[in-house]
Amino acid sequence: MQQVSGHQDFQPWLYCSSEDPCPDPIEEKLQSFATLQEGWNYGEGRAPSQLVIDGAIEIYRIGKKLALDAEVFPIVNGDIEISLYAGDHFMDILVHEGGRLDFSHEEGVGEKYNTISYVENISIDAIKQRLSELPKLCGASESLETTIIEVNVGLPITVSPTTTMLFQLLIGNASQYFTAPRFVNT
């Protein structure tokens, strides 16, 4: 960035569009599992194959469309676990080498939880169906509302170099980062 007339020139930290979408931190984390070294977990563990990573991304995207929160974990044998959740309902999917999927649904947090269901070798269609039920179990409405954010750029503004902040946009399951200046009217 350059100093211009005592003001710092504003440049966005990250620009996203439909042609060039913002990076997704969960997808980036899943892709990073491919770089795990042999023995990454105290001498044990191997990196998952790209097939397992792609399967995990597919399942994550299903949950993302339903506005579910997610966490992902590599497993020492090269599998990946995806935990999709809303409220105190957790649906965990284990993606195995060869494409096999295992599914569990739990309710509760910590040591105080109940296993609702557990299915080995479940189909992706059955996972989609079960995940689509999760928002309803937590009291969400049948449809997701669209939120539109509009910025009026017609205001005369000055960007102060000390007031630029970085924060995460938290609408639904959005995870795009951008720099937002604090505006000072001139």
HEC per residue, 88-146 = CEEEEEEECCCCCEEEEEEEEECCEEEEEEEECCCCHHHHHHHHHHHHHHCCCCCCCCC
Tell whether 74 is covered by a domain.
yes
Burial class of residue 40 in the structure, from the number of CB atoms within 10 Å of its CB (0-12 exposed, 13-18 middle, 19+ buried): middle
Q: Which residue has the higher pLDDT, 27 or 168?
A: 27
Tell whether 82 is covered by a domain.
yes
Within a 10 A sphere around the Cβ of 177, how many other Cβ atoms? 15
In a shared domain, residues 80 and 152: no
Pairing of strands 7-8, 3-4: antiparallel
Tell whether 142 is covered by a domain.
no
Tell whether 19 is covered by a domain.
no
Position 1 scores a pLDDT of 41
Q: Three-state SS for 153?
A: coil
- pLDDT level of residue 138 (50, 70, 90 thresholds): confident
In a shared domain, residues 129 and 173: no
Residue 166 pairs in a beta bridge with 179
Position 110 scores a pLDDT of 82
In a shared domain, residues 127 and 179: no
Using one digit for the tens of pLDDT, what is the confidence trace for 12-52? Answer: 455 677 777 788 999 999 999 999 999 999 999 999 999 99
- pLDDT level of residue 143 (50, 70, 90 thresholds): very low
In a shared domain, residues 153 and 122: no
pLDDT of 133 > 50? The answer is: yes
In a shared domain, residues 57 and 7: no
Owning domain of residue 133 = 25-137
Residue 71 pairs in a beta bridge with 83
Position 111 scores a pLDDT of 85
Enter the pTM of the model.
0.67
Tell whether 110 is covered by a domain.
yes
- The span from the CA of 70 to the CA of 87, in Å, is 12
Using one digit for the tens of pLDDT, what is the confidence trace for 99-119? Answer: 999 999 999 988 888 999 999
Residues making up the chain, counted from first to last: 186
pLDDT of 85 > 70? The answer is: yes
In a shared domain, residues 97 and 177: no
Least confident of 82-96, 100-114, 136-150, 170-184: 170-184
pLDDT of 156 > 50? The answer is: no
Question: Degrees (nearest 5) of the Cα angle 86, 81, 24?
Answer: 70
- The span from the CA of 129 to the CA of 62, in Å, is 10
Q: How far is CA 49 from CA 13, 31, 44, 75, 89, in A?
A: 32, 10, 16, 12, 29
Position 14 scores a pLDDT of 58
In a shared domain, residues 36 and 103: yes
Q: What is the mean pLDDT of the chain?
A: 76
